[in-house]
Amino acid sequence: MEYIIFGLVAYLLGSIPSALIIGKLRYNIDIREHGSGNMGATNTFRVLGIKAGTIVTIADILKGTGATLLPLLFDADVYRLIIGVFAVLGHTYPIFAKFKGGKAVATSAGIILGIQPILFLIMIASFLLTLYLTKYVSLSSMITGVVTVIVTIIMKDTGLIMITSFLTIFVFIRHRENIKRIKNKTEPKIKWM
């Protein structure tokens, strides 16, 4: 029963459409009608700029972190990583935004922050280094997922290996179109790094 309750709360938390809220409240823009149409941080950076993109990134990360920390407040006997996955599903398929959300990257990172902060820092370093070298946000996200799985294997944490592997596969699936564009050399590159 605890898994159902916390899983539902985590899903609803993940469903909060940060990019949509920031776009409408601060800029009077529906982010879904601009750029790639995606409700993630990357599209927010492209359409609304660095300040809005940063706010959305932090909000999306905290959705995952909040979901993993919530059971601690109630001393619940649940595997917190699994609860975090529900937040990722909420972010990706949000009930508050017609089930069309982001690509699971920031919220997945937020889960790790709530469980293994050092691993989260490794992820950030991996992402920024890859982004600096390639200028592709999507590729950096996917490579960071692979690096995360490798690190969890070194850590020999079976549960973490399974969850990070699932999330990495999920991120790859969510980036199918990006992979095609990278192959065709039509994927947009960042210009600020």
Q: Which of 133, 131, 127, 138 is nearest to 176 (CA)?
A: 138
> pTM score, two decimals?
0.94
Q: Which of 22, 41, 20, 21 is nearest to 31 (CA)?
A: 20
d(CA 14, CA 64): 7
Band the pLDDT of 192: cuts 50, 70, 90.
confident
List C-alpha distances in Å: 55 to 23, 60, 88, 101, 184. 11, 9, 18, 16, 31
Which residue has tokens 């973490």? Answer: 160
Give the pair of three-digit tokens for residue 124: 């950030």
Q: Which of 84, 100, 82 is nearest to 92 (CA)?
A: 100
Give the pair of three-digit tokens for residue 170: 């999920």
Band the pLDDT of 35: cuts 50, 70, 90.
confident
pLDDT tens by residue, 136-187 = 999 999 999 999 999 999 999 999 999 999 999 999 999 999 999 999 999 9
